[in-house]
Amino acid sequence: MVDVIAVEGVSKNFKIHHERHQSLKERLLHPRSGTTEVFDALNNINFTVSEGETLGIVGHNGSGKSTLLKCICGVLKPSAGEIRLRGSLAALLELGAGFQTELSGRDNVYLYGAMLGFSRKMVDGIFDDVVAFSEIEQFIDTQVKFYSSGMYVRLAFAVAVNVDPDILVVDEVLAVGDERFQAKCVDRIRRFQQEGRTILLVTHNADQVRALCDRAIVLDGGDMIADGATRDSLRIFREHLMADAVEHDPSHLLGSVRIESVSTPSGSFEVKSGAGLHLDVSVVSQNAYSGNFVIELFTHNGTLVSRSDAQGAPVNLTPGHNHVVVDLSHVPLLDGVYDLNVGVTDPLGHNVVAWSERAATLQVTYDGREGGIVELGASIRQE
Partner 1 sequence: MSHAPGEGLRTRSSGELPVRVVSARVSLTTRLANLWARRELLVGLIVSDIRIKYKNSTLGLFWSMVSPAFTLGVYYLVFSIFLKNGYPNFVIYLFSGLVVWNMFQNSVNTATGVIVDRAALVKKVSFPREILALSNVGAAIVYFVVQLSVLIIFVAAVRHAPAWKFITILPISFLSLYFFTAALAVVMSAINVYLRDMKHLMEVLLQLWFWMTPIVYSYSHAIAPHLQRHGLTWIYFLNPITLIVVTFQRVFYVSTIVHSTVAPHPLIDVLPTWSYDKFLILNAVLLGISVVAFFVAEAIFGRLEGDFESVL
- Give min distance, CB of 153 to partner 1, in A: 13
Nearest distance from residue 88's CB to partner 1, in Å? 8
Site for partner 1 in 156-175 (CB under 8 A): 166
What gap in Å lies between CA 176 and CA 186, rounded to an integer?
A: 11
Give the Cα separation of 126 and 304 in Å (integer): 35
The span from the CA of 232 to the CA of 66, in Å, is 22
- Please identify, using beta-carbon distances, which residue of 155 and 241 lies nearer to partner 1: 155
Regarding 97 and contact with partner 1 (CB under 8 A), the answer is: yes
Site for partner 1 in 45-74 (CB under 8 A): 51-52, 70-74
**CB-based contacts of 332: which residues, under 8 Å, 6+ apart?**
273, 274, 374, 375, 376, 377
The reply on whether position 85 binds partner 1 by CB under 8 A is: yes
Q: With CA atoms as reference, report the closest residue to 176 among 93, 65, 61, 75.
A: 93
Handedness of CA 150, 156, 162, 165 (dihedral sign): negative
- The secondary structure of residue 250, as a DSSP letter, is T
The DSSP symbol for 333 reads B
Q: Per CB under 8 A, does 214 bind partner 1?
A: no
DSSP state of 175: T
Q: Establish if 75 lies at the interface with partner 1 (CB under 8 A).
A: yes
Q: Contact, 58 vs 234, CB < 8 A?
A: yes
Q: Return d(Cα 368, Cα 381) in angstroms, integer.
A: 17
Mask of contacts with partner 1, 98-137, x by CB under 8 A?
Answer: x-x-xx---x--xx--xxxx-xx-----------------
Total residues at interface with partner 1 (CB under 8 A): 59
Q: Segment 176-195, which members bind partner 1 (CB under 8 A)?
A: 191, 194-195
Per CB under 8 A, 321 contacts partner 1: no
At its nearest, how many Å lie between partner 1 and the CB of residue 270? 31
User: Are residues 284 and 260 in contact, defined by beta-carbon separation less than 8 angstroms?
Assistant: yes
With respect to partner 1, which residue has the nearer C-beta, 101 or 361? 101
Would you say 98 or 221 has its CB closer to partner 1?
98
Q: Which positions lie near partner 1, rule CB under 8 A?
A: 1-2, 4, 14-17, 20, 22-25, 27, 51-52, 70-89, 91, 93-94, 97-98, 100, 102-103, 107, 110-111, 114-117, 119-120, 143, 166, 191, 194-197
